[in-house]
Structure 1
Amino acid sequence: MDQKNSNTIARRKFLKASAALTLLSVAKSMFPGGALAAGAGPETTKAVLGFIALTDSAPLIIAKEKGFFAKHGMPDVEVVKQASWGTTRDNLVLGSEGNGIDGAHILTPMPYLISTGKITQNNLPLPMVILARLNLDAQAISVGSAYAQIKAGTDAGALKEAFAKKKTEGNAAKAAMTFPGGTHDLWLRYWLAAGGIDPDKDVETIVVPPPQMVANMKVGTMDCFCVGEPWNAQLVNQGIGYTAVNTAEIWAKHPEKSFAMRADWVEKNPIATKALLMAIMEAQQWADEMTNKDELAAIVGKRAWFNVPAMDIAGRLKGDYDYGSGRKETASPHLMKFWRDHASYPFQSHEKWFLAENMRWGKFAPDTDISALVGQVNREDVWRAAASELGVAAADIPATKSRGIEIFFDGKVFDPENPQTYLASLDIKRFA
C-alpha cells in the first residue's frame, strides 16, 4: 500500500473515531443527571488499567486496595503493572480484548500523541480521552554524583561548561527521560533550555523506564535524569546522586499524570466510566490526607506494586525533602498533590501548554490547531458529571476549563488563549 493510501485510511479511522466521540457527547447530554442517578448500573464490572511504578499512580492502586472500585460497582477492575511507557502505549492499542489494557495512569501528552498516530505503529490514530488528572507537582531532575561539587539547582546553566567539556572530548553528556514528548521529557528540556543548554545539540537525550533510572545512574549510563518519585529519593538514599530541582520549582502546581482511556471503551461503557472516575476521585481524596501518607507508602511499596522500601516513598510524599546536596526541606509546598488545588480536574488550559511544548520540540507541526485537539481528547465534562454524582463540594469543582495565565520560574508566561506568543518568546526551539 502506498503512503498516500495509508494516510487516507488512517484519516478515515481517525474521523470515524471522532464521530464516535461526538455520539458519546450526545449520549451524555441525554442523561444530564447521570445514568447511575437514574438507577442503571455499570455496563460492565471490569476494566483493565495500566500503571507504571511511580508514586503518582497511587490513586489507581488505592482505589483497588481500599475497595473504591468495588464500592462504585466495578469489583473486577484489574490494575496491571507496565514495564515502560512504550509498553503502556502498545497495550492500549491492543485493548483488553487483545490482552492489553483499556486505560491507564499515563503521561499527560501521551493520549494526544496516540490519538493523532504520532507514536503508534504505522502512525494509525487510536482515539483516547483524558478523564482526570491524577496529581500535581513533585517530579524531579536528578544529577549524578560526578557533578556533586557543581550543586546544580533551578539554573541548569551551572552544568553548561561541564557538559560542553564532555562533548568536546567526544562523549556527550546523557540526559535521560521516560518517553519522548512526555512530561518528564518536557520538564527536562525546559530546564536545560532555560539554562542555555540545547537538549538536542548540547547533550544526548535517552529514554529509560522509570524503575530503571537508579540502576542506570549507578553504572554511569547517564549524567542526569527526569522522573517521578520514588526514584529520585532512592537515588539520594543510595548516595548515587542528588536532586537538582523539584519540577514544581519550574512551574508551581503544574499538572502531571492523567487517567486516560480508549475512546471506544468510554463510548461503549459511559456509566462504568463514571463509576471508575468516582472511585479514583475518592482514592485521590484519601491519598491527599497527611494522616494517610505512611499507609499509602506502605501499600504502594509492596512487592505487587513498586517493590520499593516505604522509606524511599514516605518522606517526599509528606513534603520532607533531602536533596542530597546539603539542601533539606520539611513541609515543602511542592509535595505531590492528589486532590487539593483542583489536582484531579483536567484543566484544558494545561493540556494546551503540553501541546505547545511538543510543537516547540517538533512533535507537532507549528500550525497545529491546539484548541480543536484539546477539545477532542480532554473530556472534563465527564469528570464534572462524576464529581457531581459523587457529591464533590462546589469549591472543589473549577468554574471554568482554564486555570488562566501560567508563569514559569524563568519568567516566561503562557497564556492558553495565545500559545503562539509564548512560543515566540522562547530562545531555543526547533522552528523559527
Structure 2
Amino acid sequence: MTKFSSAISRRKFLFTAGATAASSVLLKGCLGNPPEKAGSKVEQVQAINLSADQLPETKTVTLGIIGQTDAAPLIIAKEKGFFAKYGVSDAQLQKQPSWAVIRDKLELETAGGGLDGAHVLTPIPYLMSLGTITKGNKKIPMIVPMRINIDGQGITVSDSLKPTGVKLDTSVMKAEVEKAKTAGKNLRFAHTFKGGTSDMMLRYWLAAGGIDPDTDVTVQIVPGSQMVPNMKTGDIQGFSVGEPWHKRAISQKVGYTAAIQGEIWKDHAEKALTFRKEWAEKNPKTLKAILKAIMEAQQWCDKMENRQEMAEIVGRDEYAKVPVSDIIDRLKGKIDYGDGRIVDNSPFVMRFWDKGNASYPYQSHDLWFLVENQRWGQLPADLDTKKLIAEVNGEKYWREAAQEMGVAAAEIPSSPSKGPEKFFDGVVFDPENPKAYLASLKIKRV
C-alpha cells in the first residue's frame, strides 16, 4: 500500500469511527438517556446486598414518562440510584411526547421497540385492558401496582375569562358560555387524553356548575406541552393538566389557575405506575424491586428540604425542560393563582408518599375513574367494574414490596378502599354504592 493510500485509509477510519461514536451519543440521547452534562452529576445511594430470593429476574426495565413534575419519583429513582440499589441497574426512562404515545408503546412492548411499563394517567391501564383505546380494540392485560402522586394538578383558564370571576364555581361563567354557544363559537377546554384523569376532572368541574361538557362547550385533546401555546393563540380558553403548565400560563400572562384539583377532590388520585401484566408475571421479583426503588424515591421527594434539588433534576432538558422557577414554588406549597390570590403552605401541595397514602393504589380511586367514564358514556353502564379492578389493580404487589422493605405498619393502608369521599360541591362518592353516586349527578350520559 502506498503512503498516500495509507493516509487516505487512516483518515477514512478516523472519520468513520468518529461518526459512529457521535451517532452512538445521539442515539443514546434519543432513547431517553442523554450524555451527562457538566455539573449534572447527582450523588447516588449505595446498592444493597440482596439475598438469592430477592435478586431480580432481570436488571433491565424500560419505563415511559411524560416530562412533568409528577414523574419525579421515577426520575429520582433513576438519578439517585434507587433502581440500582435494589438490583435493577439498567433501568431506562424514555420521555414521550404524549399519553397517546405512551399507550402506543405499551402496546408494542420492548421486543417491538416499546415499553415494559410507564408513568400513566390512572384510567389508561384499565382502558387498555378493556381494549377500548388500543389498535383494533385488542385487549392488553395491564396491572397498576402503584400510585405515583396525589394532588398538585390544576385547571387554568384564559385571562379573557377573568371578568366572569370563575374559580371553583363554574356557574358564574354560564352567561359567557351561552354567549359563545349562540355565536357558534363554543368556548374550548382541553385535557390530555380521552377518558383519562385530566378529562374526568375537567368534566366534573364544568358539570358541577351546570355546564354540560358535551353540549355547552367543546372539550378537546391537547398535549400538555402545547397547552400554553394554544391558550396564547386563543385556540383554547381553559385546560386541565399536571404541572408545570399552570405556572407557565401565569408567567407568560395568558391565564390564571381557576382551581387546584385538590380543591375539587381532596387527596385525589393522580398518576399511576403501570406494567404489561405479561411482563409483571414473568418478572415478579424485578417488579417488587422497582416498586421498592420508587417508594424510597417517593419518600425522598416528600421531604421539603429535598424539593429544591428535585426541581433542579426534574427541570433538566431530558425531563420536564422547564426553568426551576416555573416549578419550585408549587412543589413547596406556594400557590400563586395568577389572579391576585397567593397561598403559602397550601394543603393541596403535590405529595408522593404521604405516609403511604399517595403511593398505595386504592381500588376505590380506580373505581371512581371507571364510574366517571360510565357517566359520560365512554364505558358501558353494565361494565363489571369489580371484576375489572380485581384483574388490573395490583395493590398486593405494593403491600409485599412495602413489607419487604420495612415500611411501618401504620403506613400500609389496612383496606383497599378509602371509603366515602366528598367533593367540593357536596356530592359524596361511596365506593360501596356507585349507582347511588351516579343517580345523584344531574348532568350525565348514562
1:316 maps onto 2:338 in alignment: no
Q: TM-score, normalised by structure 1?
A: 0.91
**Partner in structure 1 of residue 223 of structure 2:** 209
1:253 maps onto 2:267 in alignment: yes
For residue 72 of structure 1, the aligned residue among 86, 99, 103 is 86
- SS of the counterpart of 1:383? helix
Contact 1:114 1:128 in 2 (8 A): yes
Contact 2:187 2:236 in 1 (8 A): yes
Shift in Å, 1:238? 1.3
- SS of the counterpart of 1:77? strand
**Partner in structure 2 of residue 402 of structure 1:** 417
**Partner in structure 2 of residue 222 of structure 1:** 236
d(CA) in 1 for partners of 2:212, 2:162: 22
**Partner in structure 1 of residue 213 of structure 2:** 199
Shift in Å, 1:150? 2.0
For residue 122 of structure 2, the aligned residue among 101, 108, 127 is 108
The AA in structure 1 aligned to 2:119 is H
Shift in Å, 1:161? 0.9
1:272 maps onto 2:286 in alignment: yes
Shift in Å, 1:38? 5.5
Larger Cα Rg: Structure 1 or Structure 2?
2
1:382 maps onto 2:386 in alignment: no
**Partner in structure 1 of residue 307 of structure 2:** 293
- SS of the counterpart of 2:154? strand
d(CA) in 2 for partners of 1:138, 1:153: 16
- SS of the counterpart of 2:90? coil
For residue 173 of structure 2, the aligned residue among 153, 159, 172 is 159
Contact 1:37 1:389 in 2 (8 A): no
d(CA) in 1 for partners of 2:366, 2:376: 16
Contact 1:142 1:224 in 2 (8 A): yes
d(CA) in 1 for partners of 2:415, 2:221: 36
d(CA) in 2 for partners of 1:39, 1:350: 33
Contact 1:132 1:380 in 2 (8 A): yes
Shift in Å, 1:199? 0.2
Shift in Å, 1:186? 0.5
Contact 1:137 1:255 in 2 (8 A): yes
Shift in Å, 1:219? 1.1
Shift in Å, 1:149? 2.0
1:370 maps onto 2:385 in alignment: yes
Residues 295-328 of structure 1: CA deviation (Å, up to 9, x unaligned): 1111000011111000101100111011001111
1:137 maps onto 2:155 in alignment: no
1:117-136 to structure 2, matched below 5 A, reads 117-136=131-150
**Partner in structure 1 of residue 45 of structure 2:** none
- SS of the counterpart of 1:197? coil
Q: Which is worse superposed, 144-153 or 306-315?
A: 144-153
d(CA) in 2 for partners of 1:280, 1:413: 32
**Partner in structure 1 of residue 99 of structure 2:** 85
Q: Which is worse superposed, 198-207 or 364-373?
A: 364-373
1:422 maps onto 2:437 in alignment: yes
Residues 196-243 of structure 1: CA deviation (Å, up to 9, x unaligned): 000000001110011111111111110100001111111111111100
Contact 1:53 1:210 in 2 (8 A): no
**Partner in structure 1 of residue 370 of structure 2:** 355
The AA in structure 2 aligned to 1:48 is T
d(CA) in 1 for partners of 2:250, 2:311: 17
d(CA) in 1 for partners of 2:135, 2:377: 19
* Aligned-residue CA RMSD (Å): 0.9
Q: Which is worse superposed, 365-374 or 123-132?
A: 365-374
Shift in Å, 1:39? 2.9
The AA in structure 2 aligned to 1:374 is I
- SS of the counterpart of 1:149? helix
- SS of the counterpart of 1:78? strand
Shift in Å, 1:167? 1.1
**Partner in structure 2 of residue 13 of structure 1:** none
d(CA) in 2 for partners of 1:323, 1:360: 30
d(CA) in 1 for partners of 2:378, 2:111: 30
Residues 157-192 of structure 1: CA deviation (Å, up to 9, x unaligned): 111111111111111111100000000000100000
Unaligned runs of 5+ in 2: 1-49
- SS of the counterpart of 1:39? helix
Shift in Å, 1:395? 1.1
d(CA) in 1 for partners of 2:376, 2:413: 31
d(CA) in 2 for partners of 1:193, 1:332: 25
Percent identical: 53
d(CA) in 1 for partners of 2:365, 2:317: 34
Residues 112-159 of structure 1: CA deviation (Å, up to 9, x unaligned): 000000000110000000010000011100000111222311101111
d(CA) in 2 for partners of 1:110, 1:46: 24
d(CA) in 1 for partners of 2:173, 2:52: 60
d(CA) in 1 for partners of 2:394, 2:51: 20
Shift in Å, 1:40? 4.3
d(CA) in 2 for partners of 1:161, 1:73: 58
Residues 274-294 of structure 1: CA deviation (Å, up to 9, x unaligned): 000000001100000000111
Contact 2:68 2:319 in 1 (8 A): no
Shift in Å, 1:50? 0.5
